[in-house]
Structure 1
Amino acid sequence: MSSPDPSRPQIQRILVVGAGAMGSQIAMVFALAGHDVTLQDVIESGLTRAGAQLADRMGAAVAKGRMSQACAEEALGRLSFSTDLDQAASTADFVIEAATEKLEIKQQIFAALDRAVPAHAILATNSSTYGSSKVASVTSRPERVCNVHFFNPALVMKCVEVVRHPQTSQETIDVVMELVRTIGKQPVLLNQEVPGFVANRLMGVLRDEALNLYSSGVASIEDIDAAAKTALGHPMGPFELMDLVGLDVNCMIAQATYEETGDPADLPHPIMQKMYESGRLGRKSGMGWYNYETTR
């Protein structure tokens, strides 16, 4: 096993911006891998909720025999929570932003981070739709900016898409790829920015065809999902996956992709848009393509 390159930046302290479902789980992934992690959010109650949910997740993992109580306690002990972005960023070696999928908000965060983090720090966005060039442009370190896109649920899913933009340095890519491997994930490198990256582009084709088949009356939701699982070997069907991710998130991703491409084919599918507007968001609302009220 080769020794670490002493000239390469060493990643020790991690900052995750955004304490939603993705941000909090990403923070836990790094803590479980031995990093000191700060989870930052502007809303104190969001941090409190994230801390409680992560403690519950670790407790469940211990109860199922997936880790020891000592391991869970050590990982939780590496987590800290803050509403102060400047203070949290001041000692970070690596920052990953997991805020809402709105470009203007992300740009505000990256401009603030650029002023607050040390000169060597790498800034990453977890965005699934916006290439990092869109946020690198508001910083003084575009060579140290890239996408590092985790998948939901981040504690479980192995894939992490690493996307470079034209100014991302090779050193940054090397450091990030190594970091992703050390936390037990499988990095997938994209050498150019494309809307939706790899996985969401593949998933979008399957999702839209499933919606077309259903809306045309070819097959039921249940049978389309069954075909995906029993014929294609997918762990869940496209409708189950939409419910898990959230119809709101699916529509937001499709809308953001359309804004990037200008192709009307990338707009949210009409039937999915109608579901979203009706408030049927999937598991999070209790109703989506399936009814989850009875399981609550």
Structure 2
Amino acid sequence: MEINNIMVAGSGVLGSQIVFQSAVHGFGVHVYDINEAAIEAAKERLNVLKERYKADLGLTDEVLDEAYNRIVFFTSIEEAVDNVQLVIEAVPELLDIKHDFYAELSEKASDDVIFASNSSTFIPSQIKSFVKNPGRYLHLHFANEIWKFNIAEIMKHEGTEEKVFDRTIEFAKEIGMIPIPIYKEQPGYVLNSLLVPFLNSAEYLVVNGIADPHTIDKTWMISTGAPSGPFAILDIIGINTPYNLAKTKAAAGDEQGKKVAKYLKENFIDKNKLGVQSGEGFYTYPNPAYKEEDFLK
């Protein structure tokens, strides 16, 4: 099953990373987003990624420019899906938006295209009915800063064709990722099944006045040898994500979720302290305190 060109739908923080990672590894990439403003924002993100790849991976300007030249931008699904063998969907985590996207995509795509969602919220069986060929649908989930934290979690549903599952695992390898095969549906995959309870516990300690974020990070780093703690991780993820998760819990009546949502909104969201992306969150960037030599003293 040959894959030469892919389509990435949605060019936000993670979508743009998937685009550039694939282009750097030699694939032609069709970027789809809803309008020209979104496309212009994507181009800005990709130019920032060039500098990150140069600094973190030591890639040359020539290699990075060649990668960028493999990327083509579209605001039409029909044009974007032409001559691609794999679609990676990274549109907003709302079922209505995903439903509408897949309905149109299914009309325009050829029958042999693999559909893969990067969804971190939903499992494949919640979306598979949106596509015309559920056997060619599965999830391909990436962690943030994928050029450094290079795992790709591949999760199938009961009806996913084995050859589609296997080929997606191979594609992950081809773009420099370590594939994590997931054989049964699991909300949170492997990574978030481990990470989310850890981050929730850290938030609990703060909002209940037990310890401050830097002390909690310091405790974790000294005790485990980890290079960062939970609040440094939240900055990398971006504060909007834990805030939205907390709001969802709060809306369902979870008292702890209400506390976390209030804390994050008042101290971070309202002040545009969104983590690494805005230059400030629990730490200030580009030189956060947890990387200083005396932080653990």
Which TM-score band (shorter chain)?
0.7 to 0.9
Residue 255 to residue 216, structure 1, CA distance change in 2 (3 Å): closer
Alpha-carbon distance, 1:257 to partner? 8.6
Alpha-carbon distance, 1:287 to partner? 5.1
For residues 66-215 of structure 1, the aligned pairs below 5 Å read 66-215=58-207
CA contact (8 A) 2:246 2:258 kept: no
CA contact (8 A) 1:121 1:144 kept: yes
- 285-294 or 59-68, larger mean C-alpha shift: 285-294
2:30 is paired with a residue of what secondary structure? Answer: strand
Matched to 1:272, the amino acid is V
Residue 63 to residue 277, structure 1, CA distance change in 2 (3 Å): closer
2:181 is paired with a residue of what secondary structure? Answer: strand
CA contact (8 A) 1:129 1:197 kept: no
1:47 aligned onto 2:47: no
Matched to 2:110, the amino acid is P
C-alpha distance in 1 between matches for 2:177 and 2:167: 14
1:231 is paired with a residue of what secondary structure? Answer: helix
Alpha-carbon distance, 1:183 to partner? 0.9
Matched to 1:52, the amino acid is E
Matched to 2:217, the amino acid is D
Alpha-carbon distance, 1:57 to partner? 2.6
CA contact (8 A) 2:6 2:29 kept: yes
Structure 2: gaps (5+ residues): 289-297
1:271 aligned onto 2:263: no
Indicate the RMSD between aligned Cα atoms, in angstroms: 2.6
- 190-199 or 51-60, larger mean C-alpha shift: 51-60
C-alpha distance in 2 between matches for 1:105 and 1:49: 20
Structure 1: gaps (5+ residues): 1-8
1:96 is paired with a residue of what secondary structure? Answer: strand
Cα-to-partner distance string for 1:33-89 (whole Å, 9 max, x where unaligned)? 100001110121221122133123324544677012221111111011111111111
C-alpha distance in 2 between matches for 1:271 and 1:43: 37
Alpha-carbon distance, 1:125 to partner? 0.5
- The residue number in structure 2 matching 1:23 is 15
Residue 31 to residue 65, structure 1, CA distance change in 2 (3 Å): closer
Matched to 2:237, the amino acid is V
2:146 is paired with a residue of what secondary structure? Answer: coil
Matched to 2:22, the amino acid is F
Matched to 1:164, the amino acid is K
C-alpha distance in 2 between matches for 1:272 and 1:125: 29
C-alpha distance in 2 between matches for 1:30 and 1:147: 17
CA contact (8 A) 1:275 1:288 kept: no
Alpha-carbon distance, 1:118 to partner? 1.4
Cα-to-partner distance string for 1:115-169 (whole Å, 9 max, x where unaligned)? 1111110001000110122221022210100010011122322111111111111
Q: TM-score, normalised by structure 1?
A: 0.86
2:199 is paired with a residue of what secondary structure? Answer: helix
1:147 is paired with a residue of what secondary structure? Answer: strand
- The residue number in structure 1 matching 2:282 is 289
Alpha-carbon distance, 1:254 to partner? 5.8
